Structure 1
Amino acid sequence: MTSPEMTVREVIDLLSGYDPDAPVRQAVNPYFPMAHRLARVVQSVDETGRTVVYLAETNDADAQLGHLPPEVAVALAWQGPVQAPPRRPRRIAGGQ
Structure 2
Amino acid sequence: MTSSEMTVADLIDLLSGCDRDAPVRLAMNPFFPMAHRLERVLASVDETGRTVVYLAEGRDTDAQLGHLPPEVAVDLTWQSPVQAPPRRPRRRAGGK
TM-score range, shorter chain: over 0.9
- CA deviation vs aligned residue, 1:5-25 (integer Å, no higher than 9, x gap): 100000000011111100000
Q: Residue 26 of structure 2 corresponds to which residue in structure 1?
A: 26
- CA deviation vs aligned residue, 1:66-96 (integer Å, no higher than 9, x gap): 0000000000010110001011010001111
Q: Secondary structure at the match of 1:56?
A: strand
User: Is the counterpart of residue 3 in structure 1 residue 17 in structure 2?
Assistant: no
Distance 1:9 1:57 in 2: 21
Name structure 2 gaps, 5 residues minimum. none
| TM-score between the two structures when normalised by the length of structure 2 | 0.98
Where does structure 1 differ by over 3 angstroms across 4 or more consecutive aligned residues? Answer: none
- CA deviation vs aligned residue, 1:3-52 (integer Å, no higher than 9, x gap): 11100000000011111100000000000000000000000000000000
Q: Residue 81 of structure 2 corresponds to which residue in structure 1?
A: 81
| TM-score between the two structures when normalised by the length of structure 1 | 0.98
Q: Secondary structure at the match of 1:42?
A: strand
Q: Residue 65 of structure 2 corresponds to which residue in structure 1?
A: 65
Q: Residue 47 of structure 2 corresponds to which residue in structure 1?
A: 47
Distance 1:2 1:77 in 2: 24
